[in-house]
Amino acid sequence: MRDFIALTDYSSAELKEMLELAVQLKQERNEGGNKPLFAGKVLAMVFQKPSLRTRVSFDMAMRHLGGDALYLSPAEIGLGKRESIADVSRVLSGYVDAVMARVFEHEHILKLAEYSSVPIINGLSDFNHPCQAMADMLTILESHNNLKDLRMTFIGDGNNVAVSLVFACAKLGIHFTIASPEGYDLPQVVVKEAEDLAVATGSNIQQNRDPFAAVEGADVIYTDTWTSMGQEDEAQKRREVFATYQVNEKLVDLAAKDTIVMHCLPAHRGEEITDEVADGPHSVLFQQAENRLHAQKAILVKLLSS
C-alpha cells in the first residue's frame, strides 16, 4: 500500500506514468465515460479547510470511476480535538477504501498515514499541495506538449503550492524560478532538496527578488494568493509587501510569446493577478481547475487499482 503525501515519495518515472494516465482518463471521459474501476469503493474526504475544487473534483473523480465519496466536515470529525488523529485514522480504515484529507498542519496528514491501513491522500497541508501540482503539470503538458526544459516562474509567496511546484519541476526537468519579497522565500530545506533532485533531470532552481527579471522568457507564469487561509490577520501587511509582485499585462509581456499564466484559485483579482490577465489569452486558469479532476483520477487509480 502507498499513500500520496508528497511528490518526493514518487520517482520521476512514476510521476510521468501518472500524468500519462491522467491524459488517458481525460480522453476517455471526453469520448463517452470512464470504466467503473472503483465499483463498490468509497473515498472518505476529511476537511479542516473548506474547498470548492478539492471537494468537487475528488467527489466527481470517484463517481466517474464507479465509486463513491463521503464528505466529512470539520464539525463532524474535530480532527485531533474531539478525537485523536490516530483513532480517527483507524476507525476510517475499517469503513472506507481510501482517505483524502485537507488539513492545516502537515503533521496531521503524517499522523493519519501512520495509523491508516488504507491509502491516505494529501488534499492540502500547510507544507505542500501535491494534488494541485499534478494538475498543474497536466495543464502544462497539454499547453506545451512537453515538460522537459520548460521555464516556470512563480511570482509570490513561497507557500505550500510553491513547495510542491518546485519539487514537481525538479522531478520532471522544468527550470524553476521563484520571485518573492524578503522574508517570504521557500524554506531553505525545500530549496536544498529540490536542488539535489534536479541534478538527475537537469532542472535549474533559482530564487529572485525582482519579478520582472524573473519572468523574462518564461514559458509558464504561476501565481497564488498573497494571503493563505489561516493568515487573515496578516492580509493588510501582505498586500503592502507584495504590491510589486502582481501578475499584470506589463509583466506577462516580458515572458515567452506563448507563455501560459496559471493560478491554483481562488484568486483575489486586483491583488496578485489582474482581470485582464486572468481572463486574457495567456490564461489557463479554468483548464487548470478542470484538470484537478483528471489528475486526481490518475492518483486514485494508482493507489486503488490492483
Q: Kindly give the interhelix angle for 12-30 and 285-304, rounded to the nearest 10 degrees.
A: 110
**Which amino acid would we find at residue 300?**
L
Query: Which helix (H) or strand (E) is 113 found in, with range?
Result: helix 106-115
Active site residues: 102, 129, 132, 224, 264, 292
Is residue 98 within 8 Å of 304, Cβ to Cβ? Answer: yes
**Alpha-carbon distance 256 to 224, whole Å?**
20
- The region, left, alpha or beta by phi > 0 then psi within -120 to 50, assigned to residue 66 is left
Grid cell, residue 164, equals 510542491
To the nearest 5 percent, what fractions of the chain are helix, strand and coil? 45, 15, 35
